Structure 1
Amino acid sequence: MLSLIGTAATLWLALTGKLELYIHPRYVPFTVSMALIAAAVSIAGFVMRQEDSEDPHGHPDAEPPKTGRLRAAGSLLIVTAAVLGLLILPPSPLTAEAANQRDLNHSGTLSRHQTTDLLQNDPGDFTVRDWASLLRYSPGEDYFADKTPTITGFITADPKDATNVFYVTRFVVSCCTVDAQPVGVPVRQAGWQKQYKQGNWITATGGFGRNPNQDSTNAILMTDPQITPTTEPQRPYLH
């Protein structure tokens, strides 16, 4: 029963596009195929078990009434929990709280070599991850001087300068959400908490400038941005 519920949940998530909230899109076909195989094996196993459970006279094996009731109650509880968790409760993406518990702009950014290759590409197509990688392996202030990117993500506060700086953040998923890593572009806007909260989704447009806070690890960040509140996109993760 649990296998069938799991299969139904997997198929429903795949059909609604929500399976990508748990795994990388490239693994969706494989996961659906494995779920269907698991369902077929479970059904076959159930049929064989029913046949084996009958005695030679065609009567089911006897079981103490109390044991049978406890087994039925336990099975019902497990099945109910599975239905609630997999089929009824809506799936939700990782939040700002999860981002705060993981290293921002660490393993989620591109490698130095990949970042260098970005310099040959059109910055109009860059994602939050691309800009975060460029800021991490900075090619120099001259590169950022005439760039005015538009990026979308959720807000996370800069732990070292929360009053003046926040990050436009996204999660990068390589395999599944267990390995998801946050990346973000630092934005300087004094008193931003008066208008926004951590976790709010926004679209920010602005140029780059030197950070006046000499103690910050962000030498360059987005300054004087135009910020528009937005809703969470259908595909909140970057891949």
Structure 2
Amino acid sequence: MKKDQIFEFFRRLAETNPSPETELEYGNVYQLLVAVTLSAQATDVGVNKATRALFAKVKTPQDMLDLGEEGLKAHIKTIGLFNSKAKNVIAMAEILVREHGGEVPNDRDALTLLPGVGRKTANVVLNCAFGAETFAVDTHIFRVSNRTGLAKGKTPLAVEKGLEKKVPQPFRVGSHHWMILHGRYVCKARTPECWRCDVVDLCGYKGKIPEKGAKPATPVGGARAAKEKKP
């Protein structure tokens, strides 16, 4: 995707949704950190269902320590990998209280030293809580970036680096959310809904589905073309 196409790509998404936000529910930075940590290999909907009652009780790392690991498990047992996540969240709370005065650090290196916090989680927190121009490459962003030709890469880090170079102002802070929402609701994994996509003409995907119920277009030089060439 060329420079002018990238600008137009985000301009259209911004026009449709001027103030994009994460779909995770939280009341402060610490709750955001916990929610994002719990969201690994889980849906935002599932995390929100579990954290509503949890966050009514837990607003600080000390509150989490007071609740304890077993108390936390009781709240998040509907979330995948809840045992290991509970262990990490409690260990995280201990470090935040002991080393950061109970505050969430505004620093990627410090965040990624916390148990259960990887680069993606740190980027989400920095973006949502502190307004940093970070690109948290989840499965949706990875797919949208590669499928459209916006920023191709074989790994999440490669895509992140590509986005850092290519996403222009004034879209850098919001781009993370626009891509996630676009991938979640329009540019879906199995069947991208190209017929209702606002940026379909800018997209380089060769398997576009022009209308609902239609079969994917055959990529040039794809498997079907190769099969037809055989005697």
Larger radius of gyration: 1
TM class by smaller structure:
under 0.3
Structure showing the higher helix proportion among its residues: 2
User: What is the TM-score normalised by the length of structure 2?
Assistant: 0.25
Structure showing the higher strand proportion among its residues: 1
User: What is the TM-score normalised by the length of structure 1?
Assistant: 0.24
